[in-house]
Amino acid sequence: MSESCNSCSAAGTCTTDSCSSEPKVTEAQKASHVGKVIAVMSGKGGVGKSSVTSMLAVSLMRQGYKVGVLDADITGPSIPKIFGVTGRAGVGEAGILPSKSRDGVKLMSLNLMIETEDDPVILRGPLITQIVNQFWTEVIWGELDYLLIDLPPGTGDVPITVFQSLPIDGVVMVTSPQALANMVVRKAIKMVRKYEPHIYGLIENMAYVQCPDCTKRIEIFGKPKGDEEAKRNSIPYLGELAIDPLLAELSDAGKIEDYQSPAFDQIAKRLAEQIKINSDKDLA
């Protein structure tokens, strides 16, 4: 590796001799054709980003699309658990083979490559970004309509690497009503704008709890502000999701593919519209 490569986000995974040459296409990439690459991002942890990524994957799959999820939250990977996938990822001649969920979503996560799922991942930033790059360059994703990337929260090394090195078409922002989460989501939106993928919109998760005995909404984190926050940042508002104990229960049991949510179906519909609007703009 040359001296000048040290500061590059692809350091260690790049297969070119000099930065002026085109990156070499790997065997795994030759064996893959990925339609849209969508990153799911949040400013803050715990707002439900991985849950939204998983629900989105399930929703797209139910619509007949071929879907993959790249778990880029290397130190806090939760995607395999949410889908109930425990086996190790395979290795083929051309690269790493993603695992498949019960209903056929392709998954790649560091937790599918380590011995025991609760072993901690003790790695420094450059190694973490190298792994994320390899999940793109060395995984045989095959034919996919959508690859969803579950980013770690915030605006650190991994989101920077992903926006610099992967062909991201657009981003879905997830937030919750806490003021702090909204303040940090603004930082995330500003960061995405530097790299210029489309921002498809904002989802406000955990907006309220529906009283089980009446029609009242209980806004336990204060009044939802997703709509206002989206307007303030000039991005589309995709909708809100309630705190639903069934979602938490099914996620913990690895049965996200059994979860049905009319509210999320509406969000997925609005997202599909935004993807189409932005694709048409790109083609114009």
- Which of 26, 50, 109, 161 touches ligand ADP (CB under 6 A)? 50
For the bound state, the minimum distance from the C-beta of residue 182 to ligand ADP, rounded and expressed in Å, comes to 14
211-218, long-range: CB < 8 A, 24+ apart: 217/242
Tell which one of 9, 26, 51, 274 touches ligand ADP (CB under 6 A): 51
Q: What is each CA distance from 205 to 22, 176, 224, 237, 239, in whole angstroms?
A: 41, 5, 9, 12, 9
Tell me how far, at minimum, the Cβ of 204 lies from ligand ADP, in Å.
10
Amino acid letter at 249? E
- Closest approach, Cβ 50 to ligand ADP, in A, equals 3
CA distance 71 to 61: 17
Which window, 18-26, 49-57, 120-128, 266-274, contacts ligand ADP (CB under 6 A)? 49-57
Task: Closer to ligand ADP by CB, 166 or 206: give it.
Answer: 206
Hey, which residues does 175 pair with through a beta bridge? 204
CB within 8 A of 217, min separation 6: which ones? 208, 209, 210, 211, 242
Residue 186 CB, nearest approach to ligand ADP (Å): 17
Contact (Cβ atoms closer than 8 angstroms) between residue 60 and residue 67? yes
Site residues for ligand ADP, 87-146, by CB under 6 A, read none
d(CA 271, CA 200): 7
Which CB, 73 or 138, lies closer to ligand ADP? 73
Closest CA to 51 of 75, 74, 37, 71: 71
Size of the site for ligand ADP (CB under 6 A): 17
Q: Which among 158, 162, 172 has a CA at the least distance from the CA of 74?
A: 158
Site map 235..254 versus ligand ADP, x via CB under 6 A: ------x-xx--xx--x---
Site for ligand ADP in 71-90 (CB under 6 A): 78
Least separation in angstroms between CB 209 and ligand ADP: 9
Asked if 156 touches ligand ADP (CB under 6 A), the answer is: no
**Sites of contact with ligand ADP (CB under 6 A):** 42, 45-51, 78, 205-206, 241, 243-244, 247-248, 251
